[in-house]
């Protein structure tokens, strides 16, 4: 068997090259072993080349995929940076709004303190918007951490503002409620013919004490409540004639006398400015007018002190 294989390897193959135009025919011999070796070498080369090509193709696809992913990352990063910058602008605007709210709250509290003695600010230190105009320094692009911290600070500031404005609302509501029950308007239009205090007696002679003011006008002129309150009396009352008496709470009572007609009954609730009667000349009166009287804890006081 071995001899046969050795004989086969020693065999030779003759390769002849025959030209078309009668030139010399060339031939050369190649042993079978060389042919086999060449075929094996070609196969190995083909396998190596194919493997190299396949690996190159794979690496090329990977590189292309990485490039696409990198481009997507760059676009995403650019979009995120644009959004961060937009958010930074919005938070800066919000900071400006909070500063304006701080200034507004400070101004309102100043108005409250000047308008209502004894009502103090519950927010502590009065906050005002900064008045600095300096600029400069390097421009730094915002990042997520900076914006997260800024948003946290803005939320805290907004909460403080909300609490401060709620307290201010309560203070203003208390002032409004107090004003509503304070007799701060005249009950009718007309001429003030007699003021609070000593005066010449309108009927008879001598001087008498006048516990209110008299406002004269045409018969039937509307008479309005000087403040919110509850009607505690409506009807005839001696020298007052037809009279309306309103309790405003806190010991304050107003009286409207000499009316031609009362429009409200005892127990009714009235609002400041609501028409409660019409001007007349009932009781001890020399002509159509309304006697307007203010009492505090049962004592008559000058109505002008409330105007």
Q: Hey, which of 17-21, 106-110, 126-130, 194-198 has the most confident mean pLDDT?
A: 194-198
Q: What is the mean pLDDT of residues 12-33?
A: 69
Mean pLDDT across the chain? 80
Q: Is the pTM of this model over 0.85?
A: no
Predicted pLDDT at 8: 60
Residue 265: burial class (beta carbons within 10 Å; 0-12, 13-18, 19+): exposed
Residue 155: burial class (beta carbons within 10 Å; 0-12, 13-18, 19+): exposed
Q: Hey, which of 107-111, 125-129, 223-227 has the most confident mean pLDDT?
A: 223-227
- Spatial distance between the Cα atoms of 235 and 131, rounded to a whole number of angstroms: 63
Indicate the pLDDT class of residue 152, thresholds 50, 70 and 90. confident
The runs of H, that is alpha helices, within 183-279 are none
Q: What is the mean pLDDT of residues 170-195?
A: 92
Q: What is the mean pLDDT of residues 40-49?
A: 80
Predicted pLDDT at 21: 67
For residue 213, count other CB atoms closer than 10 A to its CB. 23
Q: At how many degrees (to 10) do helices 2-10 and 32-115 cross?
A: 90
CATH of 191-306, one of 2.60.40.1180, 3.40.50.720, 3.30.110.40, 2.70.70.10: 2.70.70.10
pLDDT single digits (tens) 53-72: 788 778 878 877 777 777 77
Task: Please report, for the chain, the start and end positions of each structural domain, with discontinuous segments joined by +.
Answer: 2-71, 191-306
- Spatial distance between the Cα atoms of 261 and 275, rounded to a whole number of angstroms: 11
The DSSP call for residue 272 is: T
Indicate the pLDDT class of residue 9, thresholds 50, 70 and 90. low
For residue 262, count other CB atoms closer than 10 A to its CB. 21
List the beta strands (DSSP E) in 10-60: 12-17, 26-31
Lowest mean pLDDT among 87-91, 120-124, 126-130, 217-221: 120-124
**CA 301 distance to own-chain centroid:** 46
């Amino acid at each position: 068997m071995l001899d046969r294989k050795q004989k086969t390897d020693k065999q030779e193959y003759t390769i002849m090259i025959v030209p078309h135009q009668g030139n010399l025919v060339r031939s050369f011999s190649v042993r079978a072993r060389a042919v086999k070796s060449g075929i094996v070498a070609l196969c190995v080369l083909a396998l190596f080349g194919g493997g190299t090509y396949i690996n190159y193709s794979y690496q090329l696809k990977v590189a292309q995929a990485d490039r696409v992913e990198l481009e997507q990352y760059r676009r995403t990063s650019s979009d995120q940076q644009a959004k961060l910058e937009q958010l930074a602008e919005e938070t800066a605007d919000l900071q400006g709004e909070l500063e304006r709210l701080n200034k507004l709250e400070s101004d309102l509290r100043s108005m409250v303190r000047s308008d209502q003695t004894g009502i103090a600010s519950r927010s502590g230190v009065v906050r005002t918007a900064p008045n600095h105009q300096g600029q400069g320094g390097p421009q730094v692009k915002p990042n997520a951490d900076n914006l997260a911290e800024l948003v946290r600070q803005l939320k805290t500031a907004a909460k403080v503002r909300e609490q401060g404005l709620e307290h201010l609302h309560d203070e203003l509501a208390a002032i409004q409620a107090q004003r509503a029950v304070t007799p701060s308007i005249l009950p009718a239009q007309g001429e003030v013919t007699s003021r609070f205090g000593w005066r010449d007696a309108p009927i008879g002679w001598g001087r008498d004490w006048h516990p209110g003011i008299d406002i004269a006008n045409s018969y039937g002129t509307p008479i309005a409540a000087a403040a919110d309150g509850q009607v505690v009396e409506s009807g005839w009352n001696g020298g007052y004639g037809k009279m309306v008496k309103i309790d405003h709470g806190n010991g304050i009572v107003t009286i409207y006398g000499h009316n031609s007609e009362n429009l409200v009954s005892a127990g009714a609730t009235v609002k400041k400015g609501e028409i409660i009667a019409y001007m007349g000349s009932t009781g001890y009166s020399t002509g159509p007018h309304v006697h307007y009287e203010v009492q505090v804890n049962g004592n008559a006081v000058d109505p002008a002190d409330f105007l």
